[in-house]
Amino acid sequence: MVLLQSGETPIRSGASVVLTQGGPRPGTLTVTNVAIVFEASGAPPPQGEGWGLPGGPSANEYRIGLWRFRQALGAKGPNGPVLQVNLLSRVLYIQVDDISGWVATLSEAKAHAPPPPPDVQARRALKKGGPAPPTRCSYCTRLSPAGSIKCVSCGAPF
């Protein structure tokens, strides 16, 4: 069972199989108002295939913020139709029941999702000629103004 973060509510959850280069990974796919969460029931999916490090309280829970989600659609998989989830720079293939229902759920969740984190928005602005992004402290995780040599919150050097 997915443990929800503060302010997070589940929208849809169901059995799924994530198709990876290392083979199929069964588990539970959950869409919340802020993330796509896959909880592996066996071996977790490899880190390089879009899921990254475990982001939840359990070692088999993987979270992808909805701000990384671009589009969901039905596609052909090796064993029949699959849910194709397009992220910023990766594509995930997931076997689920009711592909069209999952596409609608993901699209609706994305429409009402919170914006990207402030440091992501700042990097996007910088690429468009805006100001430099703030620096995140690796000790206390707070943000300091761009160009700071130490954290304005805890004083840790950058």
61 and 21 together in one domain: yes
Domain identity same for 74 and 94:
yes
Residues 6+ apart with CB under 8 A from 107: 72
Residues 137-153, mean pLDDT to the nearest whole number? 87
Residue 14 shares a structural domain with residue 90: yes
Q: What is the pLDDT of residues 26-78, one digit of tens each?
A: 999 999 999 999 998 866 555 555 555 555 555 678 889 999 999 999 999 88
**In a domain? residue 1:** no
Task: Return d(Cα 134, Cα 123) in angstroms, integer.
Answer: 9
- What pTM was computed for the model? 0.71
Same structural domain, 78 and 41: yes
Specify burial of residue 35 (Cβ count, 10 A radius: 0-12, 13-18, 19+): buried
The tally of domains found in the chain comes to 2
